[in-house]
Amino acid sequence: MQQIFSFILKNSNRLLFLLLLGIALSLTIQSHSFHRSKVISSANFLSGGVYERINSVEEYLHLKEQNDELAQENANLKSLLFKTKDSAEIPNLDSLKGVLPKDIVVCKVIHNSYNVYENFLTLNAGAKSGVTPDMGVINSLGVVGITDNVSANYSTVISILNTKSQINAKIKNSDHFGSLIWNGKSTGFVQLVDVPRLATVKKGDTIVTGGQSVIFPENIGIGTIDKLETDSETHYYTITVKLFNDMTNLGHVYIIKSGNSEEIRNLENQHKKDE
């Protein structure tokens, strides 16, 4: 017994090191597994509060770009409004089909990272505004990411610039879909994989969100095709997509509460249980 005590006393530093290293490593490994929410995330009152303060200062530096973006969006909406007067033409830009105004939360990006492989954003809206995990986040230009951790006033978002992110996307005006992933290289480009060779695609085509996703409504812009490659093993296309969004400069974003997502998910889970 005494020897055990003396051993512990003699090696107290080493044991403490192993203990702390164990805790830190398990937190790391846990954060890299996709399906579990993180223990350590910036959606908490400390870092959320600090980031909000910093952002309130930084906001002024980007006022011009934000204004341009809003004016652009206004112009788009106006043109949509004027088009509908012409009853013969049905506007085909129904990017928010099935989403009521009350289902959209307007909020601000208070922290944005884009220099690591797993990038996250922090937003200043949380459970109090009705945000839950797995909700789509977009802005006027296109897709931004999917909500991950939610606290009372803040939430974190898995950016599309995250190697773990996978979003269902398709080529506009066709139903050939694939998964949108990021290879961790450039902040302006993402990759669309698993598009069948049958699909007629060419450089410059627009990529939008697919209808298979319960998180995003259909036809929200993502980017345009920059490069086309065929995978030599699977014979599927690997498409490099140039993003509409400048992910390094994000201001106001919209969180979408998709009305049917709960119902669809329940249905799918039921199916899995039956098997």
Partner 1 sequence: MNSTLLVNIFRFVLLLALQILVFNNMNFGGYVSAFPYILFIILYPVNGNKSNLLIASFFLGLIMDLFSNSGGVHATACVLLAYLRPYFFKFSFGLSYEYQTIKLNDVLTPERFTFILLSVATHHIALFLLESFQITFVLDVLLRTFLSTLFTILTCIILIYLIKPNKR
* Contact residues for partner 1, defined by CB under 8 A: 12-13, 16-17, 20-21, 23-32, 38-42, 44, 46-47, 50-51, 54, 111, 113-118, 120, 122, 156, 163, 184, 186-187
Give me the least distance between CB of 214 and partner 1, in Å please.
Answer: 24
The least CB distance from residue 10 to partner 1, in Å, is: 13
- Using alpha carbons, select from 162, 167, 160, 126 the residue that is nearest to residue 145: 160
**Least distance to partner 1, CB of residue 114, Å:** 7
Q: At what angle do helices 12-32 and 2-10 cross, to 10 degrees?
A: 70
Q: How far is the CB of 8 from partner 1 (least distance, A)?
A: 13
Least spacing, CB of residue 194 vs partner 1, in Å: 18
Q: Which helix (H) or strand (E) holds 144?
A: strand 143-150
**Closer to partner 1 by Cβ: residue 30 or 173:** 30
Residue 159 contacts residue 166 (beta carbons within 8 Å)? no
Instruction: Give every CB contact of residue 153 below 8 A, 6+ residues apart in sequence.
Output: 45, 48, 124, 125, 126, 128
CB nearer partner 1, residue 20 or residue 152: 20
Amino acid letter at 58? Answer: E
**Rounded to an integer, what distance in angstroms lies between the CA atom of residue 163 and that of residue 208?**
19
**What are the residues facing 171 on neighbouring strands?**
207
Of 31 and 166, which has the nearer Cβ to partner 1? 31
Q: Which is nearer to partner 1, 55 or 168 (CB)?
A: 55
Minimum distance between the CB of residue 39 and partner 1, rounded to whole angstroms?
8
Q: Which is nearer to partner 1, 12 or 74 (CB)?
A: 12
Q: Count the neighbouring beta carbons within 10 Å of the beta carbon of residue 51.
A: 20
Tell me the CA distances in angstroms from 29 to 23, 40, 44, 122, 228, one per residue in order: 10, 12, 21, 21, 35
Closer to partner 1 by CB, 39 or 71: give it.
39
In the complex, least distance from residue 149 CB atom to partner 1, rounded to whole angstroms: 9
d(CA 14, CA 32): 27
**Residue 120 or 237 having the CB closest to partner 1:** 120
Euclidean distance between the first and final Cα of the chain, in Å?
A: 55
